[in-house]
Amino acid sequence: MSVVEIAPLGGCGEIGKNMTVVRQGGDMLVVDAGLSFPSAEMHGVELVIPDISYLRENAQMLRGIVLTHAHEDHIGALAYCLQHLNVPVYGSELTLAIAKRKITEDSRFDELDLRPFKSGDRIEIGSFEIEPVFVTHSIPDAHAIAIRTGVGIILFTGDFKFDFSPIDGRLSDLARLGELGNEGVTVLLCDSTNIEDPGWCPSERSVQTGFEKIFREAEGRILITCFGSNIHRVQQAFDCAHKFGRKVAIAGRSMDRNTSTAVSVGKLRIPGQTLIRLEDAKSWRNDEVVILTTGTQGEPLSALSLMSRSEYPRLQIEEGDTVVYSAKPIPGNEAAIWQTVNRLVRQGANVIYGSAHSIHVSGHGYQEEIKMMVSLTKPQYIAPVHGEPRHQFRFKKIAEQMGYQEDNLIIMENGDHLIVTQDEAYFSEPVPCGRVLVDTSGTPGVSDDLLRDRGNLASSGIVFINVAIDSDAGKLIGKPEVLSRGLHVLDGELSALTEHLQTELAKLDHADLRDTSSLQQEIGELARAFLKQQSNRRPMVVATVTDV
């Protein structure tokens, strides 16, 4: 009897670090290898990747990594995976080009086994056959992935919307999705990101209207900030600039990298001689210039944030500039974004943002598109993924309105281990999963304990106490040395603490002083009690004893 196992290692119950394992017999596949970004309380963490110990334990079974598209939350953990797993990587041309460019910045990778696919290909990987199906999304060359197994098709939608007027003219392959539905989709792992939004997501092309209005009205330079990977958006900015007789310069590393990669694989067409170097922008009149820049999320080191603080040497904001936020805030980034906007406004820029201006649309389908995906593919089981619990549970309600029974709607969390047979689907024991926190120096392994310590250090600071003793003579030498960092110290508080410790330590007898470890503990407790009693402060306290 055929059995297929599905285990998400990331991306279920969250939006980010997508990675799902599919197993059949002795063959394992991984769909996507994404990262997520740290939340505010993850101090000193640069990025978050899935814990892949389950893959490492089963490395001999692993036949490949299949990428749906080239967004960070789908490919950002690839480098970390390939350090530990020697497997081929499958993806579309653009996806692999972006992934390769990203990975090969890291010199550890000499040879990568990258295997490009096209929509409609059928690729045997171990006992699986995979078939990519083109779907529209906010990056070109995105695909749903159908995996043919002994229990029918397991279909990952990847990130999708059904855009009927896509910028590159490529429509989602609805017919093929329908054919797969007729063939028999057993499990649909479906994008849930916009399940809360009723109706249909506006076409990417609707942004053209917003851009053209701005281009008609702007009398100075136009700066457009969007995600560098949003090649359709970048294409529209170029096309609009060309139409209005403006040149386009690029500011920001990721914008630069993504556009040049897209050009190299033919996914971005630069109209005429539109592209100029940022350094040459000054040779043109202000109303002949467009700057494409990074910084939609208020990232402090992005080009736009630096410009807003007058710290970007290559370009200064001028009175009369128009700045267009062609993106939406990711929850948690609002404060940083508004700070940037306020600084730009103060410098005299006309800043355009918000939903009233038709300058941004989502790359994820809304409710009706998700329902259409379900209607086309007619899956036996639906597992809403790429969503927080609020999205997954909303999806479940909507699917129930479509006639699905509770038993056929599967809310998965990371690590859940779904067993699918011809007759049923059920959960087995969870597989190892978790998050790996990579610090700002690129080193993985920041622990929860460390984060807790960092949180305490940040909120309350730390006090160091060093006491020198002569344990043979059983006496203190000199005064305790007391230092603090990050502690909100009141006047005289530390010298009072020093005196308090001196007084209290003088009461200890010879034997107390000989036991260094309990003496350290004693000093720590004395100091904590004193600071709490004096001023209700609870810093970390670290005491050392130097026995001379």
| Residues forming the site for its own copies (CB under 8 A) | 13, 39-40, 43-44, 196, 198, 331-332, 334-335, 338, 341-343, 345-346, 351, 354, 356, 388-390, 393, 439-443, 445-446, 450, 453-455, 457-462, 464, 466, 468, 477-478, 481, 483, 485-486, 488, 490, 535-537, 540, 542, 544, 546, 548
Query: C-beta of 462: minimal distance to its own copies in Å?
Result: 6
Q: Nearest distance from residue 172's CB to its own copies, in Å?
A: 27
> In whole angstroms, how close is the CB of 466 to its own copies at the nearest point?
5
Measured between alpha carbons, how far is 99 from 80 in angstroms, rounded to an integer? Answer: 12
Token reading at 419: 């067993």
Closest C-alpha to 73, from 159, 192, 8:
159
Q: How far apart are CA 414 and CA 363, in angstroms?
A: 24
Nearer to its own copies (CB atom), residue 23 or residue 396: 396
Rounded CA-CA distance 80/436 in Å is 10
Triad 515, 518, 522: Cα angle to 5°: 125
Strand order, beta sheet including 435-439:
45-50, 435-439, 444-446
| Minimum distance from residue 191 beta carbon to its own copies (Å) | 18
Q: Tell the smallest beta-carbon distance from residue 401 to its own copies (Å).
A: 15
Distance CA 443, CA 254 (A): 22
Q: Using DSSP, how many helices (H) and how many strands (E) does the chain show?
A: 16, 25
Q: Which is nearer to its own copies, 421 or 544 (CB)?
A: 544
Nearer to its own copies, 59 or 458 (CB): 458
CB of 341 within 8 A of CB of 174?
no
Nearer to its own copies, 16 or 166 (CB): 16
Sign of CA dihedral 503, 508, 514, 515: negative
User: Which residue in this structure is represented by tokens 């040049």?
Assistant: 260
Nearer to its own copies among residue 198 and residue 492 (C-beta):
198
Name the minimum Å distance from CB 368 to its own copies: 15
Q: Which is nearer to its own copies, 114 or 457 (CB)?
A: 457
Task: Dig out the tokens for 87 from the structure.
Answer: 């497997």
Q: Given the complex with its own copies, which of 168 and 196 has the nearer CB atom?
A: 196
Q: Please, which residues have CB within 8 angstroms of residue 361's CB and are 6 or more apart in sequence?
A: 201, 202, 203, 204, 206, 207
Structure tokens at 336: 């940083």
Question: What string of DSSP letters covers 184-227?
Answer: HEEEEEEE-TBTTS-S-PPPTTHHHHHHHHHHHH--S-EEEE--
Residue 375's contacts (CB-CB under 8 Å, 6 or more residues apart) are 402
- Order of all β-strands in the sheet with 142-149: 123-125, 128-135, 142-149, 152-156, 185-191, 381-385
Q: Which is nearer to its own copies, 221 or 537 (CB)?
A: 537
Q: What is the C-alpha to C-alpha distance for residues 243 and 163, in angstroms, rounded to an integer?
A: 23
Q: Which is nearer to its own copies, 31 or 341 (CB)?
A: 341
**Closer by beta carbon to its own copies, 83 or else 460:** 460
Output the smallest distance, CB 186 to its own copies, in A: 26
